[in-house]
Amino acid sequence: MAAFFPFLLLAGATGILSGFLETLSPSWLLAAGGLEVACFVSVAFAVASAHVAVDVPRIGTLTLAVVICTAGLTAPPAASLFVRLLLALIWSACMRYSQDQSLVACVLALPVAACAVGRGCGLMALREGAWLDASTWLAVLAKSLVLIALAYGSLLLRRQRRCLPSGLRKARFVRLGYLRQMAKRGEKIRRCQDMPEDAFGDVTKARHVVVVSHRWLDRHTTDVATESSPSGVKLQSLVRRLDAQFKPWSLSSGSDILVFLDFMSIPQEGLSEDGQRIPRSAEEQAIFDDCFQSMGILYSLFPVLALRDVPENSSYHRYMESGWCVCEF
């Protein structure tokens, strides 16, 4: 936060000066171009200091944004405004979380508003009697208010974070996008320790958190495969029900919806290929104990999805026949 505000302030100041110099005379265009470059650099550092999460598969979009940015440096003022707005939209679309998308859009739109304020001031300086024209003052004031709103909005979005109790801060939350990939590849649910790092999301930024209440069907895998659900009864049902609520085509739905499923979210005991029990390590046990004591808070804070599915014609206990499930429900 300490580094974010100075870079944001510098971007606004250089944007205003750049817009002001552009309107004076052609001899100032070189200086205005230098200030514009400084403005873009300040914006880049502001975004970097905000620790936004970039969606790596959209790296091609980032490349396109750089090309557009380069072309925009030599564009005339009217086209430059359009280029900058387009750049803001493209870069924001590359963020993994909608909160980061909004933040980046605000930060990148700020130089556009700053440049507009500078141009308004420059036109007032050039036109005789413009300082006494109320409509000119109102136009500059309106642009200035937009600039202030963007700066304030950026600061608010930078500070906005979800905070969990200390006992749950080491719990992991699985991205809906990764669950979709698992179901598509026919993979089975795995314990938390066996999940790749990319499977998890940042619970402090995600828009939606869903907590799953379910009946364990197996002590070491929690799920069982059937002919109709070869990757597991729970995984197929979970993805199907979440997709009904959160559309896959949404821009950030793959990362902006996180799922807490105890088997995948906190350290669990495992089973080796030869059937030997794999206990938790001392560190994993400490994390499990901390999370276990505070886990009930999750069922009070966030929406709970009850997975009642059990294999048909089986001897497994039903969902409401489990004491844990009754408490969670």
Q: Same domain for 273 and 201?
A: yes
Per-residue confidence (pLDDT) for residue 7, from 0 to 100: 86
Per-residue confidence (pLDDT) for residue 50, from 0 to 100: 80
Domain around 216:
166-321
Q: Same domain for 310 and 246?
A: yes
Give the number of other Cβ atoms within 10 Å of residue 51's Cβ.
11
Q: Same domain for 90 and 206?
A: no
Per-residue confidence (pLDDT) for residue 1, from 0 to 100: 53
What predicted TM-score, i.e. pTM, was given to this entire model? 0.78
Which of 102, 137, 161 is a domain's end point?
161
Per-residue confidence (pLDDT) for residue 172, from 0 to 100: 93
Q: Same domain for 157 and 170?
A: no
Q: Same domain for 111 and 156?
A: yes
Q: Same domain for 205 and 131?
A: no
Domain count across the chain: 2
| Rounded CA separation 195/214 (Å) | 19
Which of 111, 129, 161 is a domain's end point?
161
Q: Is residue 281 part of a domain?
A: yes
Which of 161, 192, 213 is a domain's end point?
161
Q: Is residue 329 part of a domain?
A: no
Q: Is residue 104 part of a domain?
A: yes
| Rounded CA separation 33/18 (Å) | 7
Q: Same domain for 19 and 138?
A: yes
Per-residue confidence (pLDDT) for residue 12, from 0 to 100: 84
Q: Same domain for 127 and 178?
A: no
| Rounded CA separation 138/223 (Å) | 65
| Rounded CA separation 316/243 (Å) | 26
pLDDT in tens, 280-310: 899 989 999 988 888 888 888 898 888 877 7
Is the distance from CB of 119 to CB of 23 less than 8 angstroms? yes
Per-residue confidence (pLDDT) for residue 94, from 0 to 100: 77
| Rounded CA separation 161/204 (Å) | 5
Q: Same domain for 53 and 140?
A: yes
Q: Which of 221, 227, 235, 218 is nearest to 309 (CA)?
A: 235
| Rounded CA separation 55/177 (Å) | 12
pLDDT 10s per residue in the chain (329 long)? 567 888 888 888 888 888 788 777 666 767 777 777 788 788 878 888 888 877 666 656 655 665 655 555 555 555 566 666 677 777 777 788 888 888 888 888 888 888 888 888 877 777 766 566 777 778 888 988 998 999 899 888 888 888 888 888 889 999 998 999 888 888 888 888 989 998 999 998 888 999 988 877 777 778 777 777 777 778 888 888 888 888 766 655 578 899 999 899 999 888 877 778 888 899 989 999 988 888 888 888 898 888 877 766 666 666 555 655 556 55
Q: Same domain for 182 and 156?
A: no
DSSP 67-79: HHHHHHHTS-HHH
Q: Is residue 314 part of a domain?
A: yes
Q: Is residue 328 part of a domain?
A: no
